[in-house]
């Protein structure tokens, strides 16, 4: 795996581990987005979609209030803020990691005050006011290359090179001399054909001219060959080099000038931010797929992912539903480009990209989970809180531990004693609790799915939350996953109110020297014991599993 796997990205409020690629779900609150304009009109619909993306596995929600499609209509900072602020507030209140996609300094500053963790500037912080906002906040920053065609380097033609037998190649003189000697033709035969010196890049008009000149040369060499055969009758036959002068044409433009422009822009803007006091580890870069570049140029840029990763900043892959993706896969409608986008994004991740911005979170996360399972053996530390208040409570805990140890790519590394705690959170009877420490290669969302399967196996029946707490044979909560922060309606990590749950904190003392210090170091506020809920009253002994 690329070395970049071990990096972190400093964002407002802490660090985001990039040990696994992060998924950024796109939430467009614009009526004119190229892909889903107007699809999430209204704050309620937008929030429903955002939480759906989180439950599908998005680590970050990227909220945008202005379209950047070709020919977009600019909006003021006031209108942009009116579109996004309500949604941003609700997502932050739920604990989600939020990125704001804006080029307006006023919008970025307002969102940073609300608590947004990331600022994604589609203009690459070329506005000095945006640089000032970046310097004033602790947000993670995405520097996106976005240069208009008038400012960009000229559209580059495809490359062309010539074989040694081609009169326009560097070997042309030698080839002409050999052909002349063999055919007993005048030394100026080829110059009489009127062929020009070779050019590095040929236009379509030059290609046509060369075809015509090659035909003329072929005819001249053919005449020379006829004279040669007539003058050497009876002599051993001399085989001529094919008179048709071959050439080889490349399918893409020269990469070097394109990447000099792309990497030069990204490097310059990153250094400009650092000159204004922004720390290196707050900066991520985005080559800006589709902004002022042709299909061929976009392919060149994507194939250079490894080179861009070598610049030392987390790389964002933002190709979702872009026009060039449709071109390489023959898909016209933007909404139909998800599968092709997935393929391009996985190739980018394999080359070292660490953040993928996508519309179709569910499909990409599923593909990423499968790809990582086959390409990485990185393990993470996770803690599962167990509880039972029905029947043989300790027996249910033991059976749950055994079943967790059978989860794929996962093993149980330690188990606390069982403890009896006071009723809490609406449960009327005392509960037997414990904490299990796992080592796992599964993503948190995937691990949670397996834990819920264990609950079903042990007879846990989840009911509508509106019916209130129910007696349960087993309750398994993924309370902490090292290096992970996630908020959603299906999964929240660290678990809500973890620092107030005595029935979790006390068992964790069996597994580590100082769980309070460990959790507070990860950003979890831990209450004093007298202020906690579910106070532990008795040690029920070890769990034999």
CB 477, CB 508: distance < 8 Å? no
Residue 51 confidence (pLDDT): 96
Burial level of 104, CB count in 10 A (0-12/13-18/19+)? buried
For residues 263 and 249, membership in a common domain is answered with no
**Which CATH number do you get for residue 55?**
3.20.20.20
Neighbour count for residue 512 (Cβ, 10 Å) = 15
For residues 408 and 472, membership in a common domain is answered with yes
Give the end of a domain, one of 330, 356, 375: 375
Residue 181 confidence (pLDDT): 52
Q: What is the pTM of this model?
A: 0.79
Cβ-based neighbours of 146, under 8 Å, separated by 6 or more: 68, 122, 123, 124, 288, 291, 292
Q: Could you list the residue range(s) of the whole structural domain that residue 337 is in?
A: 3-152+259-375
Sequential pLDDT tens for the chain (545 residues): 344 456 899 999 999 999 999 999 999 998 755 455 455 567 899 999 999 999 999 999 999 999 876 666 789 999 999 999 999 999 999 999 999 999 999 999 999 999 999 999 999 999 999 999 999 999 999 999 975 433 444 445 555 544 444 555 545 555 555 545 544 444 443 344 444 444 344 455 555 554 565 555 555 555 554 454 455 455 554 444 444 555 557 899 999 999 999 999 999 999 999 999 999 999 999 999 988 899 999 999 999 999 999 999 999 999 999 999 999 999 999 999 999 999 999 999 999 999 999 999 999 999 999 999 999 899 999 999 999 998 999 999 999 999 999 999 999 999 999 999 988 777 778 899 999 999 999 999 999 999 999 999 999 877 666 666 677 899 999 999 999 999 989 999 999 899 999 999 999 999 998 999 999 999 899 999 999 999 999 999 999 99
For residues 185 and 282, membership in a common domain is answered with no
For residues 138 and 219, membership in a common domain is answered with no
For residues 192 and 280, membership in a common domain is answered with no
For residues 321 and 431, membership in a common domain is answered with no
Reported as half-sphere exposure (CB side, CA atoms, 13 A), residue 347 has a value of 14
Residue 421: phi and psi, rounded to 5, are: -125, 165
For residues 67 and 10, membership in a common domain is answered with yes
For residues 19 and 72, membership in a common domain is answered with yes
Residue 280: phi and psi, rounded to 5, are: -55, -40
**Which CATH number do you get for residue 504?**
3.30.70.560
Q: How far is CA 423 from CA 135, 184, 385, 391, 433, in A?
A: 49, 107, 15, 16, 11
Residue 84 CA, chain-centre distance (Å), reads 23
For residues 126 and 81, membership in a common domain is answered with yes
The total of structural domains in the chain comes to 3
For residues 404 and 488, membership in a common domain is answered with yes
> Cα(384)–Cα(96) distance, rounded to whole angstroms?
21
Neighbour count for residue 229 (Cβ, 10 Å) = 14
Give the end of a domain, one of 236, 253, 270: 253
For residues 395 and 525, membership in a common domain is answered with yes
Neighbour count for residue 333 (Cβ, 10 Å) = 9
Give the end of a domain, one of 228, 253, 278: 253
For residues 93 and 226, membership in a common domain is answered with no
Element (H, E) at 251: strand 247-253
């Amino acid at each position: 795996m690329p070395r970049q796997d071990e990096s972190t990205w400093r964002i407002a409020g802490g660090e985001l581990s990039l040990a696994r690629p992060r998924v950024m779900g796109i939430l467009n609150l614009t009526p004119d987005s190229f892909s889903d304009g107007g699809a999430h009109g209204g704050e309620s619909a937008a929030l429903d979609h955002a939480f759906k993306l989180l439950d599908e596995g998005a680590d970050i929600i990227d909220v945008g209030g202005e379209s950047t499609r070709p020919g977009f209509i600019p909006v003021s900072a006031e209108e942009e803020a009116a579109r996004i602020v309500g949604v941003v507030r609700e997502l932050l209140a739920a604990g989600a990691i939020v990125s704001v996609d804006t080029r307006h300094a006023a919008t970025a500053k307002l969102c940073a005050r609300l608590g947004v963790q990331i600022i994604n500037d589609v203009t690459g912080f070329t506005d000095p006011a945006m640089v000032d906002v970046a310097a004033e906040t602790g947000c993670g920053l995405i520097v996106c290359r976005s240069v208009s065609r008038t400012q960009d380097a000229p559209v580059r033609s495809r490359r062309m090179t010539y074989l040694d037998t081609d009169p326009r190649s560097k070997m042309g003189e030698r080839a002409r001399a050999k052909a002349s000697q063999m055919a007993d033709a005048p030394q100026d035969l080829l110059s009489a054909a009127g062929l020009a010196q070779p050019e590095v890049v040929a236009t379509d008009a030059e290609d046509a001219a060369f075809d015509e000149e090659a035909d003329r040369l072929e005819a001249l060499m053919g005449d020379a060959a006829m004279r040669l055969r007539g003058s050497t009758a009876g002599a051993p036959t001399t085989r001529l080099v094919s008179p048709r002068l071959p050439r080889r044409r490349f399918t893409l433009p020269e990469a070097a000038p394109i990447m000099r422009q792309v990497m030069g822009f990204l490097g310059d803007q990153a250094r400009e931010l650092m000159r204004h006091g922004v720390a290196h580890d707050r900066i991520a870069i985005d080559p800006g797929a589709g902004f002022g570049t042709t299909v061929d140029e976009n392919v060149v840029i994507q194939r250079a992912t490894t080179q861009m990763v070598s610049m030392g900043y987390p790389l964002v892959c933002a190709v979702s539903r872009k026009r060039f993706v449709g071109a390489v896969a023959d898909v016209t409608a933007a909404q139909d480009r998800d599968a092709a986008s997935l393929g391009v994004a996985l190739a980018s991740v394999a080359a070292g990209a660490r953040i993928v911005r996508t519309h179709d979170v569910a499909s990409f996360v599923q593909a990423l989970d499968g790809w990582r399972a086959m390409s990485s053996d990185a393990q993470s530390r996770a803690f599962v809180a167990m509880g039972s208040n029905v029947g043989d409570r300790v027996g249910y805990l033991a059976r749950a531990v055994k079943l967790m140890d059978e989860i794929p790519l996962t093993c149980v590394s330690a188990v606390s004693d069982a403890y009896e705690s006071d009723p809490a959170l609406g449960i009327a009877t005392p509960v037997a609790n414990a904490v299990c420490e796992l080592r796992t290669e599964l993503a948190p969302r995937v691990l949670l799915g397996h834990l819920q399967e264990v609950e079903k196996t042990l007879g846990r029946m989840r009911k509508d939350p509106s019916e209130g707490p129910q007696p349960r044979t087993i309750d398994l909560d993924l309370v902490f996953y090292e290096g992970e922060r996630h908020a959603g309606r299906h999964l929240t990590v660290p678990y809500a109110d973890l620092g107030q749950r005595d029935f979790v904190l006390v068992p964790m003392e069996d597994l580590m020297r100082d769980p309070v210090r460990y959790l507070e170091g990860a950003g979890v506020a831990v209450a004093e014991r007298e202020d906690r809920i579910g106070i532990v009253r008795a040690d029920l002994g070890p769990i034999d599993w």
